[in-house]
Structure 1
Amino acid sequence: MTNHREGPVPILANKHHSEASAFQPGNLLREARRQKGLALRDVPAICVLDPDGDLVRRLRKDGRATADPDWACYHSELDRFVEGDLEFGIVGCVVGASYAVLVAEQLFASGCQLLISMTSAGQLRALQPPPYFILIERALRDEGTSYHYLPPTEFSQLDADIIAALEGAFEGLREPVLRGATWTTDAPFRETERAIAAMTAQGLLAVEMEAAALYAFAQARGKRVVCFAHVTNQMGREGDFEKGEADGTVDALAVIVASARRLR
């Protein structure tokens, strides 16, 4: 077994952040279109990541979402839906940092201009009983993907211009939208009591699985990404994971639409 005590651990080694990648999202999309006989078609300018898949399932059930037959990603399905005067693309079940960024790369390579992530999260600080939302302003980088995009730092940050643009955007919604920092982890079933206590002591509000990597990608690539945590549980206590009306999709969609109207 290799001893790493005399050098950096692999996740920090051989990261050349200023160099272009040899493998680009456009390469994958090009070959997928060739192999599947798909047309070259842009995705909507505003796209949504729906890690739990609740919103996609609800939109499909209500007959409001239409599958995009020309979405060329090998690993996901994209639906389109319209809310008022806005068209959205949405990808469901994009769980975890690496998968979220893989899909984000391909969405932006396909015409996306704004990406909104709405993920479920576990409560760290008991601000109020779940469910409620958090606009994630910064995310602790306790995952691997962000280190491929940016040099090591403790947190990934939401762009300051996006924070300013969303000021007052959620007034009047049924569920509150709080603001603060979260803990992004790759290993939800390794959230030990001591780890939870340490993260809570840092003032982190919730734990989720995507935001740190998505914000690192956004900063490195100059893309517009905003992440929300829908706090729905208290680390698996009995009676947890109650999200609200229609599995939380009514309120989640309201937050997404309010954000899109401010940021479009």
Structure 2
Amino acid sequence: MPYPILEFDDHDDVFIKPYFNVLDLPKVENLIITFFKEVVNELLENKAIDVYMHLKGENDYTFYKFVNDDTLIFHGGIGGPLCGGMMEEAIAMGIKRILFCGGGGILKQMPVGHCIVIDSAIRDEGTSYHYAKPSREMVVDPNIVNILDQGLNRLNVPHVVGKTWTTDAFYRETKDRVQRRREEGAILVEMEQASLIAIAQFRKVKYGAICYAGDDLTSDVWDSRQWKSRQSVRSLLVSVCQELVKTI
């Protein structure tokens, strides 16, 4: 094999395994991974969540538990390696159902804030190749995609179902590469989905993702559209995910 990234190895004789003793904590199987830190802070201020577990290390982070619900939430790290490692630790704690809640750059015209249920991800990153054999895409369980699609319909949340492009290098999203991904059917670009889909399937847990349309890459000039300041959209999406994660 000419490239190390393509040398898939599914053996379990690894040197480091995630492990946590959570016997003294309430058993929880549902998790929301969100990139909306301000929403997590708002939930804390409103006493809607409490600290469940704080993990110390090079990148400290905290699991919170909803007060009225057996669901955890944490603020995810950017990129497949970091966010994937955090998800591995969550799975080691006993999590069985995971719903990702984030945003990304749009590759096709779409209003800012419009939701996207991810059904597949182009693997233009590295982490997924350590969890799944080389392929062009990672595909989300169609049953989960259907559940999320129907759930958003029931909640009257405007959305589409579609493919994303996962890349490790957002400073290398060239115009030619964006055009190729657009022609391939991608409607969104982000940095985690291919990795997280692969990890979930390798660990045999249920995983889905709902992202919202953020910055715009559809023209010759990038437009941020102030997507990170869309507080109402981001709060609503977390609330929606809290309801839907238990159904996947």
Both structures adopt the same fold (TM-score exceeding 0.5) = yes
Match of 1:66 in 2: 50
- Quick one: distance in 2 between partners of 1:118 and 1:209? 13
Q: Which has the higher strand share?
A: 2
Q: Match for 1:233: what amino acid? A: D
- Quick one: distance in 1 between partners of 2:145 and 2:23? 36
Q: Any idea what the Cα deviations from partners look like across 1:149-207, whole Å, max 9, x if unmatched?
A: 11110111111231233342112545412101000111112111111111111111100
- Does the aligned pair in 2 maintain the 1:140–1:181 contact within 8 Å? yes
How many aligned positions are there?
242
Pairing of 1:31-110 with structure 2 (within 5 A):
40-41=24-25, 44-68=28-52, 70-72=53-55, 74=57, 75=59, 76-82=61-67, 86-110=69-93
Pairing of 1:112-151 with structure 2 (within 5 A):
112-126=95-109, 128-151=110-133
Match of 2:6 in 1: 12
Unpaired stretches in structure 1, ≥5 consecutive residues: 1-6, 31-37
TM value normalised by structure 2? 0.87
- Quick one: distance in 2 between partners of 1:100 and 1:24? 16
Pairing of 1:130-209 with structure 2 (within 5 A):
130-173=112-155, 175-209=157-191
Q: Any idea what the Cα deviations from partners look like across 1:81-106, whole Å, max 9, x if unmatched?
A: 245xx332111142111111111111
1:247–1:93 CA distance, 2 compared to 1 (3 A): farther
CA RMSD for the aligned pairs? 2.3
- Quick one: distance in 1 between partners of 2:224 and 2:10? 44
- Does the aligned pair in 1 maintain the 2:215–2:224 contact within 8 Å? no
* 1:21 pairs with 2:4: no
Shift of 1:214: 0.7
| Aligned sequence identity (%) | 24
Q: Match for 2:227: what amino acid? A: F
- Does the aligned pair in 2 maintain the 1:58–1:249 contact within 8 Å? no
Unpaired stretches in structure 2, ≥5 consecutive residues: none
- Quick one: distance in 2 between partners of 1:234 and 1:249? 17
SS at match of 1:162: helix
- Does the aligned pair in 2 maintain the 1:125–1:203 contact within 8 Å? no
Q: Any idea what the Cα deviations from partners look like across 1:87-141, whole Å, max 9, x if unmatched?
A: 3211114211111111111111112111111121000011x31111111000011
- Does the aligned pair in 2 maintain the 1:232–1:243 contact within 8 Å? no
Q: Match for 2:236: what amino acid? A: D
- Does the aligned pair in 1 maintain the 2:31–2:245 contact within 8 Å? no
TM value normalised by structure 1? 0.82
Q: Any idea what the Cα deviations from partners look like across 1:59-83, whole Å, max 9, x if unmatched?
A: 1232322222x44463321112245
Pairing of 1:179-258 with structure 2 (within 5 A):
179-235=161-217, 236-237=222-223, 239-241=225-227, 244=230, 246-258=231-243
Q: Match for 1:241: what amino acid? A: W
- Quick one: distance in 1 between partners of 2:18 and 2:224? 42
Work out which structure has the larger RCO, using CA pairs closer than 8 Å and 6 or more positions apart in sequence. 2
